[in-house]
Structure 1
Amino acid sequence: MRFSLVIATIDRVKELKKFFEGLEKQKTKDLEVIIVDQSGDDRYVELIEQYNKIWPIIHVRTGKMKVRAATVFGTEKATGDIITFPDDDCIYTPTVLEQVDQHFRSKDAPQFVTGSVVNLDGNPTKMGRWLTSSTWLNAKNIWTGLIEFNVFVSRAAYEAVGGYDTDMGLGAKFGAAEGPDLGLRLLKRGYKGYFDKNLVVMHPDKPITINGPRAISYGLGHGYAMRKNNSGLDTVGVFLFRPLAGAFLNLISNDKKKASYYWNTFVGRSKAYFSKEARIASRKS
């Protein structure tokens, strides 16, 4: 098996169907899909039966779990050489798997590959800043070059570094940045990562004015990941100063929603970076 796609999902049947429709257009068919279903009923059964005729689908049922705990649970069933973790509401453009396969078969093959993000209209995403040219990943640019639903990892490398940190991601205290954390641990172990700007996955935009608790949670994840992985002071400074500046500038322009978002992001990042949990994690890394 070449690819294992692990998808944690709950109550998104229509979105998952659209993902399957995009997956059906891929030239590469050597794949399996592992659905970690947390819905507690049979709402996915008909859809899975329909697409199970095209590629094998492993349907795993669980109670409600943190996203990365569900991902790790599903990954235990994976048999593919390359593992990936698409969101249930993303859509692959037609050549995604073919491009990834070519990277992994190249002479100077990376052990993980990442790519660009556009919204469902095909326009640049509003979900943060992203690299604009293809390049090898390092400890600095990985923060703008890796997002969880568009990363493809050698299963051997993924397992060697222990996979995702289940204390991070949606539903966990440190609610984001589990992807960069995984990438940084891969780099530290000596594995190579490559960002391909032409490797495009579509994903719905998230509004910048997300609610306060979620902005703080995302910030907590970012701050924790920086401290855990002993990021340089230049990196830490940029990611602490930028939201603080954003809060100040938007307050001046009387955009209170954006100012609040940036302030909460700063609060989350700084709180986690200086937390006891992050200090302990940094000593272990």
Structure 2
Amino acid sequence: MASEAPSRPEPVSVSVVIPSLRPSEGILRLVGSLELQRFEYLQIVVVDQGPGLESQKLLERYDGPLRSKIEVVASPPGLAKARNAGLRALRDGWDVVLLPDDDVWLDGDVSDSVTQAIREGAAAGSGRLLPEEVDGEHRIDFPDRQIDLTPRNVWRSSIEACYFLTPEFLRGVGGYDESLGLGADTPWQSGEGTDLLLRGLQQGHSVVYVPGYALVEATMPTLSAENSRRRLRNYARGTGRVFARNYSLRGRCTLLIRSLGRLILHVRLGRETFQDNWQILLGRAEGIIGKSL
């Protein structure tokens, strides 16, 4: 007698929020990847942060099965503002919301992985982000197995473009902090997603990392050394600010000590990345003290 195939979890009702600032053809690739999933889609909200609603013009070329689900709303620049605007535009009835950026797409059918995590009680979670090129650089060395996220491992096992959230989680945390993240009207140009998860963890929500929820990121243009270091410092300021708000004095000191140790190690090895690590150390210190030097 042949063994029965393992049962698949029942589909969940899904909404999608996609912040978009300078949309390209990649947003059509993202929507195409959503077609491959076995979710029951309620809404796909694209949040256009540009003055000309460029994402809407691009999406007018899409004539696939999800066309009736797509709507475009406007928001001032800023990723946290855009994500909050998208969340406010959602109608009731969804079990989970996905929040991919407009330059990523889902890697095959990931619906079972997200659905199973939600069915097992996760209130929020993150997947893993893969580089477009086979030998491309991974932003994070993601684990190979599902794990519960904690304040200790959340920085190493989550990334904003791969988040999924439940209504219960959002009712508790109240959305993204708009003073954090790329495009915010502050020096704290990162960390809005990690801050969100940390606040949820503080409230006792179950937050997980799900390796089966994989997204691919388009290759980014190479920056000049000066612009790269400026971005590193901006992002590091956000990290420091999140530590100042969510971690004890010991945790903040540990972050700075590790950053200093990495800097000293690179000096001793004579590596050219000294300047990069110096900017990271300065930025994290600025975020922790709450002042841009």
- Superposition TM-score, scaled by structure 1 size: 0.85
SS of 1:182's partner is: helix
SS of 1:143's partner is: coil
Q: Give 1:49 shift.
A: 3.3
**Aligned residues between the structures:** 272
- Equivalent residues of 2:13, 2:39 under 8 A apart: no
- Name which of 231, 240, 247 aligns with 1:230: 247
Q: Which residue of 2 aligns with 1:6?
A: 17
Q: Deviations over 1:94-120 (max 9, x none)?
A: 2223321121123xx110121222101
Q: Does 1:214 pair with 2:231?
A: yes
- In 2: Cα distance, 1:189 partner to 1:131 partner: 25
Same amino acid, percent of matched pairs: 24
Q: Which residue of 2 aligns with 1:68?
A: 80
- In 2: Cα distance, 1:97 partner to 1:177 partner: 27
- In 1: Cα distance, 2:70 partner to 2:106 partner: 17
* 1:132-143 mapped onto 2 (5 Å cutoff): 132-143=144-155
Q: Give 1:16 shift.
A: 0.7
Q: Which residue of 2 aligns with 1:96?
A: 110
Q: Deviations over 1:118-153 (max 9, x none)?
A: 101255743244444321111111111221111111
Q: Deviations over 1:16-37 (max 9, x none)?
A: 1121222222222424211111
Equivalent residue letter for 1:211? S
Equivalent residue letter for 2:133? D
CA shift in 2, pair 1:165/1:121, >3 Å: same
- In 2: Cα distance, 1:176 partner to 1:199 partner: 22
- In 2: Cα distance, 1:170 partner to 1:121 partner: 24
Q: Which residue of 1 aligns with 2:7?
A: none
- In 1: Cα distance, 2:63 partner to 2:80 partner: 24
Q: Give 1:260 shift.
A: 1.5
- Equivalent residues of 1:139, 1:231 under 8 A apart: no
Q: Does 1:262 pair with 2:277?
A: yes
- In 2: Cα distance, 1:83 partner to 1:76 partner: 12
- Equivalent residues of 2:73, 2:86 under 8 A apart: yes
| Larger Rg belongs to | 2
- Equivalent residues of 2:53, 2:74 under 8 A apart: no
Q: Which runs of 5+ in 1 are unaligned?
A: 278-285
User: What is the root-mean-square deviation in Å for CA atoms of aligned residues?
Assistant: 2.6
Q: Which residue of 2 aligns with 1:78?
A: 90
- In 2: Cα distance, 1:211 partner to 1:187 partner: 32
- In 2: Cα distance, 1:42 partner to 1:276 partner: 35
Q: Which runs of 5+ in 2 are unaligned?
A: 1-11
Q: Give 1:224 shift.
A: 0.9
- In 1: Cα distance, 2:138 partner to 2:277 partner: 14
